[in-house]
Amino acid sequence: MSTNNEWPLWEVFLRTKKGLNHKHVGSIHAADEEMAIENARDVYTRRNEGISIWVVESSHIHASSPSEQESLFDAANDKVYRHPTFYNIPDEVGHI
Amino acid sequence: MGEISLEEKFQNTIDKESKIEPKDWMPDGYRKNLIRQISQHAHSEIIGMLPEGNWITRAPSLMRKVSLLAKVQDEAGHGLYLYSAMETLGLSRDESLEQLITGKAKYSSIFNYPTISWADIGAIGWLVDGAAIVNQVALQRTSYGPYARAMVKICKEESFHQRQGFEIMTNLAKGTKEQKEMAQNALNRFWWPSLMMFGPSDKDSTHSDQSLKWKIKRMTNDELRQEFVNKTIPQVEFLGLTVPDPDLKLNKKTGQYEFGAINWEEFYNVIKGRGPCNKERIAARTKAQKEGEWVKAAAKAYSAKKINRRNTKAA
């Protein structure tokens, strides 16, 4: 059996209810975007898990590499002054 | 200070109970072991649809029919979650399905037993899904992120499967004499194969030690099997049925049920393709793949045509 008929892979994002953002839930194979939405509906929303679906062809996703993790994210570690708890507010002022 | 090796870093991540994600470095053995286990798990979900599908058109009521239909559809969904997790490790869906029909990849031996009466559908939901739940609950903590996430989704849905099975068994066991006999007969046939679902005994399990160190598996086969027996025997008693094991007894000191010897010869026979339904199951998959091939080709051609038309219009 040939394998060249394999349909492309799509990443599936669901909005579980209004007011929340779409969240990645998994992936699905489909020949085109219409079928990807239909398949995502059958596979990922059998129990009211979503009210809106996004599908993105997996090959269109660009990701950072785990080897860049330090250079990308560690720089934030020594910037404690970006957090509100870094600043002293006298108790008598109350909540700011 | 020496640099720590990739392998040490990998093991440290696992020891800290952090997850390994698709693009992280991993040893070849870890990748291979996971592909084997996840694809076997996915194939089991897909093959598992066949013995149950056998009863969809003959379910005794419309309610039982829609429940069974929904359960079988869930099994398809579970297979798809797992194939997606497996694909993040580099084996394609088509290659994996090919390995299923050529026999290179295995699936759970339990699905090579036939479903000859309606009670078997009850027994499968109760025992087979029950055993799967014990296994899968532990796997929610597996070290590979996509596999763990698939397990969380699957566990949420399995509970309905087991409850619908137990309800079928309860109705039969509390029904007429013939119905109770049918339930007992199904239990007799599915009891030992259900215990075999957890795989070989720890002393004979080839993949166990490494899998536990890498936290692919979180409990040994024998530990999981014992947990299943402890959970299930009180349910058997509630039904007023008995398991086909004269050696079964409660050890009051340990609180564990001790059970008789498993017929491992039968287990290995079924794994090697000599179970009652191995040929039938693989034939059904082969037919589905062969006869579905033109649909895949047509949908792909249609998609290419649509993209082409869109591009021509834009130009």
Residue B305 has pLDDT above 90, yes or no: yes
Backbone torsion region of residue B103, taken as left when φ is above 0, otherwise alpha when ψ lies between -120 and 50, otherwise beta:
left
**Residues of chain B numbered 254-313 and touching chain A (CB < 8 Å):** 289-290, 293, 296-297, 299-300, 302-303, 306
- Say what the ipTM of the complex is: 0.89
Residue A1 has pLDDT above 70, yes or no: no
CA distance B209 to B217: 9
Residue A3: predicted pLDDT: 53
> Under an 8 A CB cutoff, do A28 and B80 touch?
yes
- Find the residue in A nearest to B299 (Cα): A31
User: pLDDT, tens digit, for every residue of B192-205?
Assistant: 999 999 999 998 88
- Partners of B25 on chain A (C-beta within 8 Å) are 66
Mean pLDDT of B214-225: 96
Residue B206: predicted pLDDT: 77
For residue B165, what pLDDT band results from cuts at 50, 70 and 90?
Answer: very high
pTM value is 0.93
Mean pLDDT of B51-63: 96
The length of chain A in residues reads 96
Residue B314: predicted pLDDT: 81
Mean pLDDT of B138-152: 97
Domains parsed from chain A with CATH numbers: 4-93 (3.10.20.520)
User: pLDDT, tens digit, for every residue of B234-283?
Assistant: 999 999 999 999 999 999 999 999 999 999 999 999 999 999 999 999 99
Residue A4: predicted pLDDT: 79
Residue B2 has pLDDT above 80, yes or no: no
> Under an 8 A CB cutoff, do B299 and A35 touch?
yes
> Under an 8 A CB cutoff, do B84 and A32 touch?
no
Give B204→chain A minimum CA distance, Å: 35
For residue B208, what pLDDT band results from cuts at 50, 70 and 90?
Answer: confident
User: pLDDT, tens digit, for every residue of A45-96?
Assistant: 999 999 999 999 999 999 999 889 889 998 888 899 999 999 999 999 998 8
- Partners of B153 on chain A (C-beta within 8 Å) are 26
Answer for the pair B84, B150: CB distance below 8 angstroms, yes or no.
yes
- Find the residue in A nearest to B290 (Cα): A1
Residue A23 has pLDDT above 50, yes or no: yes
Per the prediction, chain B carries an average pLDDT of: 95
Residue B315: predicted pLDDT: 75
Residue A40 has pLDDT above 50, yes or no: yes
For residue B29, what pLDDT band results from cuts at 50, 70 and 90?
Answer: very high
Structure tokens that stand for A57 in this block: 């062809």
Structure tokens that stand for B166 in this block: 């137990």
Helix axes B28-47, B93-102, angle to 10 degrees: 70
Task: Please report, rounded to a whole number, the percentage of residues in chain B having pLDDT higher than 70.
Answer: 99
Answer for the pair B196, B108: CB distance below 8 angstroms, yes or no.
no
Least CB-CB distance to B23: which of A27, A31, A63? A63
Residue A2: predicted pLDDT: 46
Least CB-CB distance to A7: which of B23, B153, B299? B299
Answer for the pair B134, B231: CB distance below 8 angstroms, yes or no.
yes
